[in-house]
Amino acid sequence: MLIRPEMPHDIAAIRDVIKKAFDRPTEANLVDILRDRNVLTLSLVATEGDCAIGHIAFSPVTVGKENSSFKAVGLAPVAVLPEYQRRGIGSQLIEMGLKKCQKAGQNAVFVLGSPGFYARFGFVAAATYGISYEGDVPPEAFMVKELSPGILGDRPGIAHYQPEFQMC
């Protein structure tokens, strides 16, 4: 298996992976819109041979007032073809994505998901830092991982994902 940045010829296969992983088109539509509007910060594809088997996307998130020195992203979605799930591919996509985000100078990564799953990657409840999600979700499901230690200590507020998330 190889994990690499997406390329234009991957787009249809990525859409297929996401639709099959979620058993609906919503998340695939979101990634297409984010890509079309050029707001994907990072998009990685996992391949086996010439076949796409997994995908992960990251896009900008702001907390409180816009501040160009504070760079954060949201991880959404991560998808693996059903027949390849439970083999660690999603975990490898997340780990690679976090490393690439850190290398790119991102300060933090937010995610909305299962605390039991994401804790293994170092995510904690964003409420720990006084940060809440702009939507109606259980506070324990909205998590963050600092990529720059201590960066969230003085940054309480509401996290805002890209407006495209409200469209899907």
> Read out DSSP for 83-101?
GGTTSSHHHHHHHHHHHHH
Specify the pTM: 0.93
pLDDT in tens, 1-29: 999 999 999 999 999 999 999 999 999 99
Whether residue 71 contacts residue 102, with contact meaning beta carbons closer than 8 Å, is answered with: no
Taking alpha carbons only, the member of 165, 167, 166, 117 closest to residue 141 is 117
CA 63 → CA 70, 127, 158, distances in Å?
Answer: 9, 12, 6
Q: Please state, as a whole number, how many other Cβ atoms lie within 10 Å of the Cβ of residue 42.
A: 19
Provide the residue range defining the domain that includes 145: 2-167
- CATH of residue 57's domain is 3.40.630.30
Split into its structural domains, the chain has a count of 1
Residue-by-residue pLDDT tens, the chain, 168 positions:
999 999 999 999 999 999 999 999 999 999 999 999 999 999 999 999 999 999 999 999 998 766 555 789 999 999 999 999 999 999 999 999 999 999 999 999 999 999 999 999 999 999 999 999 988 889 999 999 999 999 888 778 889 888 888 776
